[in-house]
Amino acid sequence: MQLPVQIVFHQLDPWPGAESHLRERAAQLERFCPQLMSCRVVVEETQKHHRLGRPVAVRIEVRLPGHELTVNRRHDTDFHVAAREAFEAMTRQLEDFQQRRRGEVKRHEPAPPRGLPGLPQAEIGVETEAEAGAGAEAPSGSGDAAPSAGCPR
């Protein structure tokens, strides 16, 4: 990383080992994407309820050349769960970013245009009503031709 990891605690005091744990996890992100420019981790207590525990939110902001990725995770009682889920989500985003950057993501070819004016329908693979009706038989007891399954009316 070009800049050191920033760790910020909002509305709560850092407890022993929390900052070192977050720095270790942030350093692991660089393994997935060596182009990391900066990483900022924000830990905040979202509400103060004596009966519900201490809801904690972890936000990770990562900057790459030309891109910025952000992840937010919240857990009702446990900082470690929120931090683990946030770093796992950021790891997935970085892996996806690397795959897109390398061109490993399959891109689908656009579907051919259908029903262009001036072209016969048979040339672009669409059956005309006359062709669809030629192979269909009338159901017994009815004088009407059955509609084609692929052509809604």
What domains are there in the chain, each with its CATH number?
6-78 (3.30.160.100)
Q: Report the distance separating Cα 78 and Cα 53, nearest Å.
A: 9
Does residue 126 carry a pLDDT above 70? no
pTM, 2 dp: 0.63
DSSP result, 31-81: HH-TT--EEEEEEEE---BTTTB--EEEEEEEEETTEEEEEEEEESS-HHH
Q: For 38-56, how does the pLDDT look when each residue is reduced to its tens digit (9 = 90+)? A: 999 999 887 766 566 678 8
> Which pLDDT value is given to residue 3?
82
pLDDT band at 62 (very low <50, low <70, confident <90, very high): very high
Nearest CA-CA partner of 38 in 58, 72, 69, 64: 64
Q: For 80-121, how does the pLDDT look when each residue is reduced to its tens digit (9 = 90+)? A: 888 999 999 999 999 888 888 887 766 677 777 676 566 555
Share of residues in the chain with pLDDT > 90 (%): 23
Q: For 8-31, how does the pLDDT look when each residue is reduced to its tens digit (9 = 90+)? A: 998 887 778 888 989 999 988 888
